[in-house]
Structure 1
Amino acid sequence: MPATPWNLPPIVKVYEALGAVGDGRVRIEDARRAIVTSSDGSKNYEVEMSADGREIASNDNASYWRGYLGYPAIAVLIERGFYRAPANVSDALAGVAWKELNTKFRNDYAQTIAEVEKHVEQSGHDPDAVRSEADAVLSFLRELNPVRGKRTRPPAERPKPKAPRR
């Protein structure tokens, strides 16, 4: 049975991936596994990939349920050097509160990107360079044409608050 290719993500997921790299939220565990921490620090996503980067499994919600390659897997591809993003672009997207913005704009990604581009410009970076780099990452993903690896774990859950002691 042939492997199923990943669908391309919305461009905002590329921005998120570049931001995760800029924040240092990607931790390479070994030759196959990596952990990516969410922007608010509440979740850790597990990404497994083949040595050539073509077979990828990730337990973020987008990858697990939606069928497109989520930002954690894209961030791992960048961190492992399959794609070389300029440091100034990842730096421009560092510190963005993605979860907060996506919630605020009810996952209207165009509004999220517009808000992020304001942040990028206010921090002295070039939004056009960031946009151009995000497009280049999408082109790289299209060319790589990664396939889905075996789903090993369900999506990460937020830790449940502890009950107060009596």
Structure 2
Amino acid sequence: MAMSATQWKMPPLVKVYEALGAIGDGRVRIENSRRATVVSSDESKTYEVETSADGREIASNDNASYWQGYVGYPAIAVLLARGFYRPPANVTDALAGVAWKDLNRKFKNDWARTIAEVEQNLEQAGHDPDTVRSEADAVLSFLRALRPVRGKRIRPPAEKPALKTR
């Protein structure tokens, strides 16, 4: 009997925000029908993501995918960029330019505090945080329904010196 593929754990909501931000920033590059790359928010890393034609089998070399076993933001961003789910532009635009790594470090990966800060900044910039949150929830629902499985494990990339700080 064939071994069943391991299903990915669902990510924390903040990772959906990060994925939406990566789309807003244009940091996702589709290489071909399977491969894509995603540049980190501080541009210090480029992640590799491979998906099957239907998007269900995903391999990604970001730290969360590799070490935590949940679908990391690069994989989510690639699924969105490939059109498996299409978030509205006002939401991806609202999350463009967020320095995720800095925020995650500032709040010691306390995702609720990171989201609270992002939502406060969204409001100050004239965006509706409730619209963004409900869209992030919808992406999470899409992921649950997709029930993605793990592709091959790819070791995370080494960090390069950051090219810029946001």
Judge same fold: TM > 0.5, yes or no: yes
Unaligned runs of 5+ in 2: none
Is this contact kept in 1: 2:36–2:50, CA < 8 A?
yes
Question: Which aligned runs of 4 or more in structure 1 are off by greater than 2 angstroms?
Answer: none
**Partner secondary structure for residue 53 of structure 2:** coil
Deviation at 1:160, TM superposition (A): 6.1
Give the % identical residues. Answer: 76
Q: TM-score, normalised by structure 2?
A: 0.94
Deviation at 1:159, TM superposition (A): 2.0
1:78 corresponds, among 77, 80, 83, to 80
Match of 1:54 in 2: 56
Whole-angstrom CA distance in 2 between matches of 1:53 and 1:77: 7
**Partner secondary structure for residue 3 of structure 1:** coil
**Partner secondary structure for residue 119 of structure 1:** helix
Aligned 1:30-41 pairs, distance under 5 A:
30-41=32-43
Whole-angstrom CA distance in 1 between matches of 2:133 and 2:11: 15
Deviation at 1:124, TM superposition (A): 1.1
2:116 corresponds, among 100, 114, 128, to 114
- The AA in structure 2 aligned to 1:99 is K
Per-residue CA shift, 1:55-83, capped at 9, x if unaligned?
00000000011000000000000000000
Q: TM-score, normalised by structure 1?
A: 0.94
2:92 corresponds, among 65, 90, 96, to 90
Corresponding position: 1:156 with 2:157: yes
Corresponding position: 1:103 with 2:105: yes
2:130 corresponds, among 122, 128, 131, to 128
Is this contact kept in 1: 2:44–2:161, CA < 8 A?
no
Whole-angstrom CA distance in 2 between matches of 1:103 and 1:160: 16
- The AA in structure 2 aligned to 1:75 is A
**Partner secondary structure for residue 113 of structure 2:** helix
Whole-angstrom CA distance in 2 between matches of 1:105 and 1:159: 23
Which is higher, the Rg of structure 1 or of structure 2? 1
- The AA in structure 2 aligned to 1:3 is A
